[in-house]
Structure 1
Amino acid sequence: MDFTPFTVDDYRARMERAALAASAAGLAGLLIAPGPDLTWLTGYRPPAETERLTLLVLAEGREPQLVVPALEAPDAAKAAGAPALALRDWTDAQDPYALTAPLLGGGRFGVSDNAWALHLLSLGERVPDAAYAPLSRALPMLRAVKDAAELERLAAAGAAADATYGEILKVRFSGRRERDIAAELDALLRRFGHEQVDFTVVGSGPNGADPHHEAGERVIERGDMVVLDFGGLLGGYGSDTSRTVHVGEPTAEEQRVHDIVREAQQAACAAVRPGVALQDVDRAARAVITEFGYGDRFIHRTGHGIGVSTHEPPYVVEGEEQELLPGMCFSIEPGVYLPGRFGVRIEDIMTVTEDGGRRLNATPRELAPVE
């Protein structure tokens, strides 16, 4: 699927905005490690397994600096945002922390949540008057509001996940292992355009009561409820959807629990509009499930943000008072989990519009029968 590429001007604007936001938050600057923050700010995605220091240093009024290992510098220089920053490469015979320290100075820096402790501790030895704050706390809204180009990619990812669900309903479930269905989900996501698959949860029968169950060797049987939760990246942006299906006809209790979760999910989606606090969306879902007596079996937050990663701020959870803004995107995924028996979860990605909210997933939310 073709999208208009992000330009160097797009990345320059993001870096400038991030540096200004850091200054407004009382930070001396930002230290961005490999991961979604670095990808969003620069377009550079370094090898995930590298232990060598790679760090983007941002501060208001200063040219962005990317400290990068010399053997990875050629790839960094090809990133779309590279012309908007200065590359500082280092060889294995050099001390990268001594190279980076002069770029910091003292003060409090926002740091990517996934930065290695080794790197921060080593920098701390050379810049003892520097302090660090997790970026998700210091600037939780940095990537939360998406522009039109980002929303286009998220909508395409959602449509591809919907197409995947439509196809998986056609396959046989009974007599097959969870991991076989998971493999088919993976193949379908890729068939419909995903370059990366992050997860394919297939929780059958009692395994469905584990929200993050890893698809395993259990053979799916007739009479099983099956929780499906799958997603990944398409065009660099995430999909994440959940539906619960049933092998054969459900019992009255299974249908009732599914109906409760569907009602809760609808209530939360209906609550989405600018100015509403994230915690109030969580409360809308939780109130329905609690009313029907399953409040203690809804054991996780109602949702999470999504963008260049499938899980990121903001979070739809009690205590989160951040108000919704147009362009924010997040999941709404209430669930009920009955240990040793079955689970139900229904999930859509929502984006906040000027006057409400819009689902980026459109597949039916009823309990679907499968063979």
Structure 2
Amino acid sequence: MTSSDLYPVSRLAAVQEATAKAGLDALLLTPGPDLRYVSGYDAKPLERLTCLVVPASGEAYMMVPRLELPAAQASPASRLGLEFVAWDETDDPYAIAAARLGRVGKVGLADRMWAMSSLRFREVLPEAEQVLAGSVLRELRMRKSPAEAAALREAGQAIDAVHRQVPEFLRAGRTEREVARDITEAILASGHQTVDFVIVASGPNGASPHHDVSDRVIQAGEPVVVDIGGQLHNGYCSDSTRTYSVGEPPAEFAAYYEVLRQAQEAACAAVRPGVSCESIDAAARRIIADAGYGEYFIHRTGHGIGIETHEEPYIVAGNGEPLEPGFAFSVEPGIYLPGRHGARIEDIVVCTESGGERMNNTPRELVIV
């Protein structure tokens, strides 16, 4: 799998077509996931403007600071046949971009564009309505190509390799921070380019879904939620949660963990084209609620994933969008008992023509270490 598979030349034309269809005159994509998705260029976010200008018709071009020109030309963006418009330190790149665009009525700004840049574009394009580029790009980004699915599969295998090592790191007497340090090293050793997050939540900290790490000492008989992920060299992300127990857990915990496992299994089994995003959430939530733990499942069942850990579609009540082949998202129900403990099981799933493929395949049963 090469960068040309993940960032095909044809994508730019598809983006231009979608821009025109949405009634926008141009997209303005500064460093971040939108720029990388369209061009393959993982540009540094700097105070100096880098911006891919994608008009609805006509030739796209890349504004780059002259000192960043070699990096831009060495990136996959060079295969797109773009003109690289290098600007010098005394130039006003926003004015240059505006002059080349001419009069425009509506432009899409990269969802992660800095306010500094969006306000400057407002100054130089005072008549242009600004909207989010995501309104155009979401339809493309949600539908993963076979190459993108393969990248997510690779990411899933890499983070699975880390989860297989976690039992070596967990033991009573160690702090969450010490365990997280070992996990961080393992994520990088597994082939990840970056470590995006490491959650090690022991005992009562497990009842906080987004607990990070602390100096709390892990005790015997405590459950530990481990949620980890990062980004591979190709830009695609991993994200997987498993729950462990350092010795035999409390009976109360063991009982609701089995409920959680059944709920996660049911939600994954419900994935297929045509069913709504919210129905996947409901499949997990129903089992948890029927067992009496509904009030302790306090977040959505999942989020999309690709070149961002969190992107569309979101697997949540109220999202009636039907799944399509290529949609990729997490399935991660949880049960959290405040002050006591919590549990979560998370796999990344890609919707296929006939169902769903899990990208994570480590044991989902409670692992006692």
Structure 1 letter corresponding to 2:50: T
**Residues of 1 paired with 2:5 and 2:84: CA distance?**
18
Does residue 37 of structure 2 align to residue 61 of structure 1?
A: no
Give how far 1:159 is off.
Answer: 0.8
Shift of 1:103: 3.9
Letter of the structure 2 residue corresponding to residue 342 of structure 1: H
Is contact 2:207–2:338 with CA below 8 Å preserved after alignment? yes
Separation in structure 1 between the aligned mates of residue 74 and residue 330 of structure 2, nearest angstrom: 33
Q: 1:236 Cα deviation (Å)?
A: 2.3
Equivalent in the alignment of 2:31 = 34
CA contact (8 A) 2:26 2:54 kept: yes
Alignment of 1:272-291 (within 5 A): 272-291=271-290
Encode CA deviations 1:182-208: one digit per residue, 9 max, x unaligned.
111111122221111111110111111
1 CA distance for matches of 2:50 and 2:298? 37
Counterpart residue number, 2:44: 47
Give the equivalent residue in structure 2 for 1:262: 261
Distance 1:5 1:53 in 2: 24
Whole-Å Cα distance in 1 between the matches of residues 283 and 27 of structure 2? 36
Indicate the SS of the match to 1:176.
coil
Structure 2 residue aligned with 1:197: 195
SS at match of 1:133: strand
Tell me if the contact between 1:141 and 1:313 (Cα under 8 Å) persists in the aligned partners.
no
Q: What's the CA shift for 1:292?
A: 1.8
- Counterparts of 2:25 and 2:35, CA distance in 1: 18
Q: Distance in 2 between matches of 1:314 and 1:59?
A: 26
Q: CA deviation at 1:7?
A: 6.2
Does the 8 A contact of 1:22 with 1:30 survive in 2? yes
CA distance in 2, matches of 1:244, 1:205: 11
Q: Which secondary structure state, in structure 1, belongs to the residue aligned with residue 35 of structure 2?
A: helix
Provide closer, same or farther for how the CA distance between residues 316 and 136 of structure 1 changes in structure 2, counting only shifts above 3 A. farther
Q: Distance in 2 between matches of 1:352 and 1:7?
A: 20
User: CA contact under 8 A between 1:163 and 1:192: conserved in structure 2?
Assistant: yes
Distance 1:306 1:145 in 2: 11
The letter of the residue matching 1:352 is C
Q: How far has the Cα of 1:26 moved from its partner?
A: 2.1
Residue 327 of structure 2 aligns to which amino acid in structure 1? M
Asked if structure 2 preserves the Cα contact closer than 8 Å seen for 1:227 and 1:242, the reply is yes
Question: Are 1:122 and 2:126 matched, yes or no?
Answer: no
- Amino acid in structure 1 at the alignment position of 2:253: E
Is the contact made by 1:97 and 1:123 (CA closer than 8 Å) also made in structure 2?
A: yes
Q: Does 1:71 align with 2:67?
A: yes
Change (3 A) 1:103 1:342: farther
> For residue 318 of structure 1, what is the aligned residue in structure 2?
317
**Structure 2 residue aligned with 1:164:** 162
- C-alpha separation between the residues in 1 aligned to 2:26 and 2:95? 18
Please list every run of 5 or more consecutive structure 2 residues that lacks an aligned counterpart in the other structure.
Answer: none
Aligned to 1:299: 298
Percent identity, aligned pairs only, is: 46
Aligned residue for 1:238, secondary structure, equals coil
Question: Is contact 1:141-1:314 (8 Å) kept?
Answer: no
Which SS does the other structure have where 1:184 is aligned?
helix
1:207 matched to 2:182: no
Offset of residue 138 of structure 1:
4.4
Cα distance in 2 for residues equivalent to 1:24 and 1:282 = 32
Tell me, yes or no, if the aligned pair for 1:202 and 1:227 is still in contact at 8 Å: yes
Report the CA distance between 1:336 and its aligned residue. 1.3
Q: What is the root-mean-square deviation of aligned Cα atoms in Å?
A: 1.6
Using structure 1 for the length normalisation, give the TM-score. Answer: 0.94
| Contact 1:297–1:337 (8 Å) recurs in 2 | yes
State the partner residue of 1:86: 83
Look up the match of 2:248: 249
State the alpha-carbon separation in 1 of the partners of residues 34 and 47 from structure 2: 18
Per-residue deviation, 1:155: 0.6
Alpha-carbon distance in 1 for matches of 2:77, 2:65:
18
**CA offsets 1:212-233 (integer angstroms, 9 cap, x no match):** 1111211111121110000111
Alpha-carbon distance in structure 1 between the residues aligned to 2:367 and 2:328: 26
- Structure 1, residues 103-135: CA drift from partner, whole Å, max 9, x if none? 443222222211011111111112111112223
CA distance in 2, matches of 1:7, 1:88: 26
Instruction: Tell me how far apart the structure 1 counterparts of residues 23 and 296 of structure 2 sit (CA, whole Å).
Output: 41
Give the 3 Å change call, closer, same or farther, for CA 138–147 of structure 1 in structure 2: closer
Task: Report deviation, 1:259.
Answer: 1.2
CA distance in 2, matches of 1:260, 1:103: 59
In the other structure, the counterpart of 2:12 is 15
| 213-222 or 285-294, which deviates more | 285-294
Match of 1:184 in 2: 182
Aligned length: 366
SS in 2 for 1:140: helix
